[in-house]
Amino acid sequence: SPNRLNLVEEQKQEQEQVQQQQEQEQEQENQTTTFNFKNFIKEKRKEFEQKELNSESKSILPPFINNQENVVIIPKSDILKERKLSLPHSGGEKWQKIDHKLKYQKIKSPQQPEVPKLAHGLDRVLFNPGVHYLKDPRTQKFNFPTTLEYITQPHDFDYNTLTPYTTSSKDTRLLDMAREHNTRYIGSTSSVSSMLSQLYFLISQSKPVDTSIFSDKFGSMGNKFTRGTRAPSSINLMWKDGVYAIDAYKSNDVEDTILSILGKSMEKVLTTEPNEYERYLKNAESPISEAERNQPETFAYGKIGHFLLRSQLDCQDPRLPRRTFDLKTRAAVPIRLDMNNYKDYLGYSLRRSHGLYESFEREYFDMLRSAFLKYSFQVRIGHMDGIFVAYHNTRKIFGFQYISREEMDVRLFGSSHMANESFRNVLVMFQNILDKATEKYPNKSLKISFDAASGSSMSIYVEPLPDHGEETASLQENENDDDNQVLIKEEEEEIKEDEEFFKTADDTSYEADSTDQPTYRPYRPMTLYTLTTRSFINGELANYNEPISLKKRSDIWKLNYKLRESNMSPEDADIMYHRMRKRQDQVYNREGKLQQSFVRLFKTISDRGLKFEKKERDNK
């Protein structure tokens, strides 16, 4: 009947109301709430911008957030009371902000000698992209003077005619400028670029390089920076009466290799005409005078925050947008792999544009993954326009290429905007780290090592040097290097020999030497710091599992960081230090034996090249 139906409907409605009430009571009892994680992130960001929240409220977002529409359930007590979800190893310290308003500015330099210009008509390389062969491989006709082909060997060049290199700590002019401009830290391109690279690996979240321009044969070779580029880096921070000078760490300085020695003389070849160049040779009829020899080098200077940096200026052309540029000499792959036996590969030539061997493409590919990042930072420190590269095998020059700052930016960072932001961020971060270290050990010379191997964080080792620190540090490392032959092959790397060749030179494995391994001991007391970062792109927290990318010039990148002193036991810290130093020496001191498969392959190519040259000479 209708009355019965109405009664049933009323009872059903009452049951639904009771059930809803019970569910509400149960929800209140459990004190949980369901919400959208993306909206929650936006909410927290607004609070952060409006109130300058403390570290506990800002560290609520765990590293696995990816800004997707994931719905989760979190107890209210966890949100309203704890709010202390923090990054791994970040501790309870507050997140610090990198000042994104700081800019690297050019400082007017004192009166200096004029910067050299390219000789031999090489300036046309600056305005025509790509590689320029010294000698056309098809017609064997020279595109530049024949005097450039064969390289002066060290025994014929008088290196005493060159102005000796001055470290930052011994550069009185740089120290005076630091006091004049009220800066706390001074350094040079050679002493800071490796540290800036380590910091970039961290803040960019292991961003790879762009290898899309290379031919298909390079598709399987990877797009990460080489092991050598990622190796831990160290500096000596020298206390100089109110100013800290950054010097390159002596143990990792490879000034006496054949490549660095030839680099000095080849710069003179590129910037002087033949008659003038002959004055730098031994037994010259009109040798360089003492006054010319003592002529100071020319530098560019820049400042950001409490940093004052210098960069030696190699060359200039007023037609370039930024006028000056760096000179780089790039040896072919077998020379870089086996510098101690470089004479075994003098027949290895660059004969073609593309390909895995004997090609300019291979050299560019290796340079991108192993040297571009350092070059990019050096160019920016010196306000330069790019780099001029001379490709060689220590005996002959094969060609030249000008690579602009913008070209390096695209390959490394994706855009010049990302490059500029990265450069500023790593410089400011570097200063903040030095501030922390010098606060811990005021008015002391320090050895500081940077290791971003973990990817998600960086380990920083700070050691106060003895009062005679620089010399003692150098002596200690020389003793270690002399008494213990350091292995190059990493224990965890197991790659087949036939596959290994196709990797960049700096990634190559070496066979183990039988000599005992050294024990690396830090100066006492050593302090270990852990650095973690997080990025916000246009106000949104960046995904921790993806590389940082700025796709538009309007994109805003804000960086936060935590720098905490580790509470690790001294014994565990020593173990970490030993592993760091071992990896460092494995890269910088190549004392192992190059695998025989490489030796045979490269020697075969070299011998074939020498026979080809002889045949050419005989046919003339």
pLDDT per position as a tens digit, 21-40: 555 555 554 444 444 545 55
Q: With bands split at pLDDT 50, 70 and 90, how would you rate the model's confidence at 18?
A: low
What is residue 72's predicted lDDT score, i.e. its pLDDT? 38
Q: What is the pLDDT of residue 21?
A: 59
Quote the Cα angle for 21-24-30, to 5°: 140
Residue 100 has a pLDDT of: 86
Lowest model confidence (mean pLDDT) among 21-30, 119-128, 192-201: 21-30
Instruction: Write out pLDDT tens, residues 235-258.
Output: 999 999 999 999 998 654 444 689
Q: What's the confidence (pLDDT) of residue 322?
A: 98
CA distance 557 to 418: 9
Cite the DSSP H helix spans in 272-415.
Answer: 274-277, 290-293, 333-337, 360-370, 372-381, 405-412
| 35 strand-pairing partners | 72
Q: Is 456 exposed, middle or buried (0-12, 13-18, 19+ CB in 10 A)?
A: middle
Computed over its alpha carbons, how large is the radius of gyration of the chain? 29
Residue 129 confidence (pLDDT) above 90 = yes
- Residue 89 CA to residue 399 CA, distance in Å, equals 49
How much is the pLDDT for 527? 96
Which value, to the nearest 10 degrees, does the dihedral of the CA atoms of residues 548, 62, 437, 382 take? 10
Give 506-548 pLDDT, tens digit per residue: 565 555 444 455 668 888 899 999 999 999 999 999 998 899 9
As a whole-number percent, the residues of the chain with pLDDT over 70 amount to: 74
What is the reported pLDDT for 109? 85
Q: Is the pLDDT of residue 489 over 80?
A: no
Q: Is the pLDDT of residue 267 over 90?
A: yes
For residue range 268-306, list pLDDT tens digits in order: 999 999 999 999 999 999 999 999 998 899 999 999 999
Per-residue model confidence as pLDDT tens digits over 71-112: 333 343 433 333 333 334 444 578 999 998 899 999 998 889
Cα 247 from chain centre: 17
Quote the pLDDT of residue 68: 38
Give 597's contacts (C-beta < 8 A, 6+ positions apart): 497, 498, 500, 501
Lowest mean pLDDT among 218-227, 322-331, 366-375: 218-227
Identify the pLDDT of residue 453.
81
Average pLDDT over the chain reads 82
Alpha-carbon span 249 to 233, nearest angstrom = 8
Least confident of 25-29, 167-171, 374-378, 524-528: 25-29
Neighbours of 594 (CB within 10 A): 20
pLDDT at 54: 42
Return the pLDDT at 120: 98
The model's confidence at residue 476, banded by pLDDT at 50, 70 and 90, is very low
d(CA 360, CA 21): 76
Residue 10 pLDDT level (bands cut at 50, 70, 90): low
Q: What is the pLDDT of residues 51-73, one digit of tens each?
A: 433 433 333 333 333 333 333 33
Closest CA to 205 of 565, 550, 563: 550
Predicted confidence at residue 31, as pLDDT, reads: 45
